[in-house]
Chain A
């Protein structure tokens, strides 16, 4: 029996389009827009002015708060604006706009650090922070913060999340096939930084080549185990992953560290490895550009700040009439209204669906079929919370644990009545949290 969790769904994976395609370097963009907030926590503050010249890897935004991360220029060139720009959230966020000079000069400060063996845990954490590394699995939580739990939380396990359970996406898959040793190096750094000796690398069994590559890469390393997981969405959700691999359940309202676990995305590990090897902060990432609406789906190594429109062009442009452009996967990604929005540290994919695929279906009354209940990996009663949300009964929704919803979308995916369950629950969560603030 493969390890897995209760609930979940089996959507069509649609990974064939890109899973065999090696990562290509994307064209150097003429202009990048780098938002100063690409992570959970306080936005960072610009430290460059219009007219300044910057180079690749040069810090342009300083993180002042503890939960925050700095950002760096991903091209060399001239700062042309520091102003609010459209962001993947649809809001305008303070960003630094840089015109590339095409030289791609590397910043002088970028130098390889001491080898891992010689670094102290604090030095590792500092390197990670200064490199602006945040969770690349989507949420964008500053990694260094995650690695610095309060003293009373004893961490005994690190899990590398290589599940990549979102349909269509293959960024982590290709990474693990092509650069398994980077993932392992990053993981070893994390282990050293947190003083943990047990680590797992969880990978869904629909990526046998990745499993092979990772197994080969950890050969001879003690304490690191590659765990094949059942292919089921949302296997990569950290709560599900922890449950599948360790059998532990993160307490409601708690964090992985409450059960002694740290979960990090494979991409995050590779980013750490990159810093250790070259000193280069996080300025580029692998993004899968895919979907029926793209002519030639590809895995691209992209500079942070590249407008998504340029990536689509590099993939041959739109196929058919595009209906939806999604940053991220189809289950949790954010739909976009403009092709101007820039790729960020957490952008694992750009998915384009054709117009014919995004027909809006009128929802019908709930027939209490309980598919949503059976699908929910958190064992909530989505239908009930949604009904309460429709009637504005927020307090009751909270009593039914609306806040524990991980917004995985399983319930809405299966609902035969096409009720936007996830959105209604999100609405309830938003309301509950808003009323808590006061």
Chain B
């Protein structure tokens, strides 16, 4: 009995010693510099070496994450908790700074009702594929084709194909990654600053007559918008109106004028200037207002004629006292949206 125990202890001790020594020697001799983050990521992973992630073991995944080849949430077993830890190690933060955030907008309104279909298209149901067949099934070769290539490519699900057969973009969700812009064969999606509310939703450069034949809501290059714009922000170039987003002040005058409703905006939510009591009556606002909507005597509080105000916010910018606020005409955005549930 004692004998067995002693030989066991000796052999196991010997093996343990040998292996321990071997490992020590190896780790000294073969020490390799590795990205320390690999180890920390590995630490954060569950270590099941299950291979479910498609990488050979947790080590493989850790390396892939550090090399940027795998996303931080690639470990299926670890779930969200692990993903968070890994994200922290990798220093991946949330979406970049807001401010002049850009969002994607669809510059075509030629849906099933509005646009004319010139022929029966048969074949692969993909916008790009269809666009290569006689420039697409719609009479307007610039029109959205409506098979939703953009919907498929959007990584955050911000795009859905609406009832009109046109994509609808959820501007809240959109991260401005621009993938849809690249994907769309008709180039009808474009990124524009979130603050811009007025858009010409048509890119057809055919002659106005041809456009009118092809679509009810196309830009027919009548130049009415150009004439009415107080800020020289919209021009007809190549048979289609184009807005200079830097100059546009969301006054929406062009929207009012456009005979085909090719220009759109959040018209119901148009802003109005409101002057509060800190007004000192300097008259600067009245002088600057492009539509003469402000009146009032010197040194007296001025008034805005809401009928005339177009919401360009020049006055607000010019006011030395900051006494002018731009307010959504139908209350603020919150109340202007459906309030059925707000009351509950």
Contacts and interface: CB of A to CB of B under 8 A. Distances in A.
Chains A and B touch each other in the complex, with CB atoms below 8 Å apart: yes
Interface of A: 83-84, 89-92, 334-338, 360, 392, 420, 423-424, 426-427, 430-431, 434
Given A392-B152, A427-B124, A427-B126, A92 B205 contact: yes
Contacts of B129: 423-424, 426-427
B123 A90 contact: no
18 contacts: A84-B205, A84-B206, A84-B239, A90-B133, A90-B135, A91-B135, A92-B141, A92-B205, A335-B134, A337-B139, A420-B123, A424-B129, A426-B129, A427-B124, A427-B126, A427-B128, A427-B132, A430-B185
Given A92-B141, A335-B119, A424-B129, 18 more contacts: A84-B207, A84-B210, A90-B134, A90-B141, A91-B141, A92-B205, A335-B133, A335-B134, A337-B139, A338-B118, A392-B152, A392-B153, A420-B123, A423-B132, A424-B124, A426-B129, A430-B185, A431-B128
Given A83-B207, A84-B206, A337-B118, A90 B124 contact: no
Contacts of A89: 134-135
Contacts of B182: 434
Contacts of B153: 392
A392 B134 CA distance: 22
A420 B207 CA distance: 35
B134 A336 contact: yes
B131 to A, nearest CB: 9
A426 B133 CA distance: 11
Interface of B: 118-119, 122-124, 126, 128-129, 132-136, 139, 141, 152-153, 182, 185, 205-207, 210, 239
Nearest to B152: A392
Given A337-B119, A392-B152, A420-B124, A90 B136 contact: yes
A420 B136 CA distance: 16
A89 B141 CA distance: 10
Contacts of B133: 90, 335, 423
B210 A92 contact: yes
Nearest to B239: A84
B134 A334 contact: yes
Given A337-B118, A423-B124, A427-B126, A92 B132 contact: no
Contacts of B152: 392
Of A84, A91, A337, A338, which is in contact with the most chain B CB atoms at under 10 Å from its CB? A337
A392 B150 CA distance: 12
A72 B152 CA distance: 46
A83 B206 CA distance: 8
A66 B139 CA distance: 33
10 smallest A-B Cβ distances: which pairs?
Answer: A90-B135, A90-B134, A337-B119, A360-B122, A337-B118, A427-B129, A92-B206, A91-B135, A91-B141, A423-B124
Contacts of A90: 133-136, 141
A423 B182 CA distance: 20
A24 B126 CA distance: 42
A336 B122 CA distance: 13
A337 B126 CA distance: 19
A354 to B, nearest CB: 14
Contacts of A335: 119, 133-134
A36 to B, nearest CB: 15
B227 to A, nearest CB: 23
A322 B262 CA distance: 35
Contacts of B123: 420, 423
Contacts of B124: 420, 423-424, 427
Contact of B134 (A337, A423, A424, A430): A337
A78 to B, nearest CB: 19
Contacts of B205: 84, 92
A410 to B, nearest CB: 17
Contacts of B126: 427
B34 to A, nearest CB: 29
Contacts of B185: 430
A430 B131 CA distance: 11
A426 B126 CA distance: 12
Nearest to A435: B182
A435 to B, nearest CB: 8
Contact of B132 (A336, A337, A360, A426): A426
Of B119, B123, B128, B134, which is in contact with the most chain A CB atoms at under 10 Å from its CB? B134
A426 B128 CA distance: 10
Contacts of A84: 205-207, 210, 239
Contacts of B122: 360
Contacts of B119: 335, 337
B191 to A, nearest CB: 16
A91 B203 CA distance: 13
A191 to B, nearest CB: 37
Contacts of A427: 124, 126, 128-129, 132
Of A84, A89, A335, A392, which is in contact with the most chain B CB atoms at under 10 Å from its CB? A84
Nearest to A431: B128
